Amino acid sequence: MTHLSQQRCTACHADAERPAAQELATWLAELPQWQVIQEQGIPQLEQTYRFPDFLTALAFTQAVGQAAEATGHHPCLITEWGQVTVRWWTHAIRGLHRNDFIMAAQTDELYHRDFGSAVPSSSPQG
């Protein structure tokens, strides 16, 4: 089985088939730091990443934005002093799709590869 971060995000339309609960559980097991939340009745994958300052958080936001633009699949990004909250879901089906798990895994990979050595400060300046 190919790890989610090595898979490609593919186009998804409103008529796309929603994954079965068992598939969702399998994919979520590969992403232990992510949680499924409900936002306005729509299930979404969410994780908050911590950073030592605002500029590093902003750089991560920009890197995730570039990855999103390259795939045509865009998350909600909330950038604050010392943290970035990322939410993935598929707008076309108003829920979760394999693409969301792929992009969550790629977001983790991006963080660990390029930002993982960032040590969070204990108190925000914001």
pLDDT averaged over every residue in the chain:
86
The reported pLDDT for the residue numbered 101 is 94
Express each pLDDT in 91-126 by its tens digit. 888 999 989 999 999 999 999 999 987 654 444 444
Mean pLDDT score, 60-69: 97
For the chain, the structural domain boundaries read 20-115
The reported pLDDT for the residue numbered 14 is 64
> Checking DSSP bridges between strand 42-50 and strand 76-80, what pairing results, if any?
unpaired
Alpha-helical (H) ranges within 1-126 are 21-29, 54-71, 98-110
The reported pLDDT for the residue numbered 29 is 94
Distance between alpha carbon 21 and the CA centroid of its chain, in Å?
19
- The reported pTM is 0.85
Per the CATH hierarchy, to which homologous superfamily does domain 20-115 belong? Answer: Transcriptional coactivator/pterin dehydratase (3.30.1360.20)
